[in-house]
Amino acid sequence: MAVPPQSAARVEVLRLPAGASERDELAVEEPLEIRVNGRPVAVTMRTPGHDEELALGFLLSEGISPARAAIPPDLPANTVDVEASGFDPGRLERNFYTSSSCGVCGKGALEAVGVESSPVTSDLVLAAELVAKLPDRLRESQPAFAATGGLHATGLFEPTGSLVCVREDVGRHNAMDKVIGFAFNEGLLPLERHVLCVSGRLSFELVQKAAVAGCPIMVAVGAPSSLAVDLARDRGVTLCGFVRDGRVNVYSEPWRIKA
C-alpha cells in the first residue's frame, strides 16, 4: 500500500551508536486554517490530505451544520473554506486553536468544551471476537504509519468487520474528523450501524465526536480516560479499550458486546 506523498517527508538522521547517517521518513505536520463562509474560525495542526473532510468533521463535532467544503483557488495553500447556512459567528467566540496532540487545548473555558448531542440509541450488537480483530485490520491499512511511525488513525467499520474508510493524521482528533467528514459526504450520518476504531487511546474529545456522529461503538488499542468513560455512559456509547491479543475491556454499555 503506497504512502500518500503529502503524509511523509524525508530527512537526514544520525543513527547511534552505529554513527551512520541515513534518510528517514517523518510524518508531515502543517497548519490548516478553516474558514466558514470566508471567515477564519480555527487553525489546526494536521497532516495534509483530505482537508475538506477534516473541516467538515471538525465543524460537525462543534455542533455546526456545514453544506460543503472546498480548497479556495484564490487563497494560499493550507486553507479550506466551508459553506454553512445560518452560521452564527458568535457561537465560536472562543479560542479554537488546536494542536496535534490535544484537540481541546487552549479553548476558552471548560464549559465550552461540551457539545450537545442526542443520546445514542442504536441497538447494534457485535461479537467480542469480531471487535478484537478490528485494531489489526486498522493497522494493516495504515501505510503512512508503517513508513513514519508517527501518525494516528481512525477507521470506520461495518458490523461485519469490513473497513469502510481509514484516515491517518498527526492528530488523533484530526483523523477522527476526517472520517466523520467522509461519512458526511457519503450520506452515512448518523453512524448508527457502524463502528469507529482508533489506533491509540480514547480521550474525552474522541468520544464526544463519536457521540455527535451517532456512533454506538468505539474500539481502541489503548485506554480510555475517566472523563471519556463518563461521557460515553452519559451518551450511551459503548467503549472498548485495550483491544489487543484477543482481549476486550468494555467500559460502558456492555450489552452491545456479546462474548
What are the residue ranges of helices labelled H in 102-199? 128-139, 143-148, 172-185
Q: Which of 143, 175, 209 is nearest to 51 (CA)?
A: 175
Give the 3-state secondary structure of 212-238. HCCCCEEEECCCECHHHHHHHHHHCCE
Peptide bond into 89 cis (omega under 30): no
Q: Are 140 and 153 in contact (CB under 8 A)?
A: no
Output the CA angle 144-7-184, nearest 5 degrees: 90
Instruction: Establish whether 197 is a catalytic residue.
Output: no
Q: Are 201 and 224 in contact (CB under 8 A)?
A: yes
Q: Which residue has the cell 450511551?
A: 236
Catalytic residue among 102, 165, 197, 240: 102
What is the separation of C-alpha 37 from the centre of its chain, rounded to a whole number of angstroms?
24
Catalytic residues: 102
